Amino acid sequence: MLSATGLPISVQGVLNTDVKKKILVSNHVTNFDPFILTFLHPNVLVLDSPNCGKNQLKPSKTFDLPSDKNRDDVLIMVKEKIRDSEEALLFFPEKLKTNGKTSLLKFSQLPFDVDCPIQPITIQVKRFFFDISVSTFSSSTYEDLIWCLILPLTLFKIKYLPVTERKRDETREEFATRFQSNMAKSLGLTTSSYSHHDVTEYIKKKTVVNQEGPSAKHRAKLEDVPPSDSDRQVKTATLDLEMERMVRQVKDVLPDTPTEIIVSDLKRTRDVDTSITNILEGKVEYSKPNQKVETSLRSPEGLSFKATKFEINASARQLSFAERKQAMLEAARLIYRSKNEH
């Protein structure tokens, strides 16, 4: 029947009919996967059928898991279903379609936590004469079906691998990894560390970038590419040259200030004028060389800013000191600007 619609099926191996084999696990490459497997095995329930959202066909026999339950509750529900039902449960642990050409997405852990023997099933799809994907990430079942009717032939290869059980000394996570590796090897693929969550987030990001336009694409591309070693070296060299230039400018105004003190303050301020002010105002502390202490304030060029007379009033003396200090700062700034203008 399916051959008449352009969907012939090739089956290799035999499904194990043992009543204990209640779990089937398959990779996922098209929207037709659950329909084909339930067509071949009517006594199977598709667990949480993938791609059953808006504009998607849904297999007639499914066992949907509630989204408001925690993981332990879901696991209990699955175990009860296996215990009480004669039907096997079909899992698609990748939870998303892939192109089936590179790797398998990281499997969901749920089917491997049930502690039952698992029947692995692999699905491969080949489209003859035309190199057109059978299904895409966002395509609906209707769209895929139309393309299958238009194009001459799409072959589905179904293969049943040996039933797999967890070993005694094996954790459930190790069991899932081994199971996935065996399926990938049979398909000639690799296993991926990316899960369906990672793929979904990536698609969302790309969609937003495409909607925002070319500038957003360029920005996203730059964010995704880490700087190379040569880029880091150029950036470091540029910063070193800039720091050397600023230190030299501060030294021109304050030649007696130690270089390491200037560098330390410049790293914080990133501004020559601000660092000069900090040093002159005493905000930068450092041990000065022994020299004769002068009672008057002097500018870097030796200009004296002595008080013209000794004020009797303390507030007047404080005001005089503030005025002389401000004059010294202004003189230092003028010297700095004049040296950098030539």
pLDDT in tens, the chain (342 residues): 455 455 678 888 877 666 456 889 999 988 888 888 888 888 788 875 454 444 455 666 777 777 777 888 888 888 888 888 888 889 999 988 888 888 899 998 989 998 888 999 999 988 877 777 777 777 888 888 887 777 767 888 999 999 999 998 999 999 999 999 999 999 999 998 888 888 888 888 777 766 665 555 555 555 555 555 545 554 455 557 778 888 888 887 778 788 888 888 888 888 888 888 788 777 777 766 554 444 444 444 555 555 555 555 555 555 556 676 677 777 776 666 666 555
CA gap 311, 144 in Å, rounded:
96
How far apart are alpha carbons 329 and 8 in whole angstroms? 89
Q: Full-prediction pTM beyond 0.85? A: no
pLDDT at 249: 83
Task: Looking at the chain, list the stretches that DSSP marks H as alpha helix, in order from N- to C-terminal side.
Answer: 33-40, 71-84, 141-150, 172-187, 196-212, 214-224, 229-253, 259-269, 272-280, 314-341
Q: If we measure between CA atoms, which residue out of 188, 174, 204, 183 comes closest to residue 93? A: 183
pLDDT at position 309: 52
**Confidence (pLDDT) at 294:** 42
Radius of gyration of the chain (CA): 38
Give the separation between CA 171 and CA 165, rounded to whole angstroms: 12
319 Cβ contact partners less than 8 Å away, ≥ 6 residues apart? none
Both structure tokens of 64: 């949907």
What residues contact residue 229 under an 8 Å CB cut-off, 6+ apart?
A: none
Check residue 97 and give its pLDDT: 86
Among 108, 170, 165, 100, residue whose Cα is nearest residue 136: 100
| Cα–Cα distance, 9 to 17 (Å, whole number) | 20
